[in-house]
Amino acid sequence: METKRLGRWAPMLVLAAALVMFVAGANAVDAAKGGSHGRGGTPPPATGTCSVTPNPAARWSAVTISGSAFSAYASVGITVRSVSGNVAMMFASADSSGRFSAKYNTVWLGTNAVTASGGGVTASCSFGVV
């Protein structure tokens, strides 16, 4: 088996490899910072609205978590967190106007934080359980 030397191509291959590594590194740093470096990356999430009724609520009662300004027909992930770190998750579907509502049975006393995310939109609110 005969092998050929790279000869005059060796410096060009080394330069090309270095250029590829530089561009890949720059893109990784830019992505880690959340930027798109002018290339049309993902925009930051839009902010929707969120509310819980009744507020405050009695323990073990049902509340309605509502939101608006979401994308039409988006699947909305809803997270409820207690001050002690307990977490409950559920999903709701936004209607054609971007509004959603979901029933939740209260469990944890104190302030509960709600986050709703879907279709590039995020909303946060809280409610008390007494």
**HSE (CB half, 13 Å, CA atoms) of 125?**
20
pLDDT computed for residue 13 by the predictor: 55
pLDDT computed for residue 44 by the predictor: 63
Q: How far apart are CA 84 and CA 95, in angstroms?
A: 33
What would the pLDDT profile of 80-107 be if each residue is shown by its tens digit? 999 999 999 999 999 999 999 999 999 9
What would the pLDDT profile of 26-79 be if each residue is shown by its tens digit? 455 555 555 544 455 666 668 999 999 999 999 999 999 999 999 999 999 999
- Where are the domain boundaries for CATH 2.60.40.1930 in the chain? 46-129
pLDDT computed for residue 37 by the predictor: 47
pTM, full prediction:
0.66
The fold of the 46-129 domain, in CATH, is Immunoglobulin-like (2.60.40)
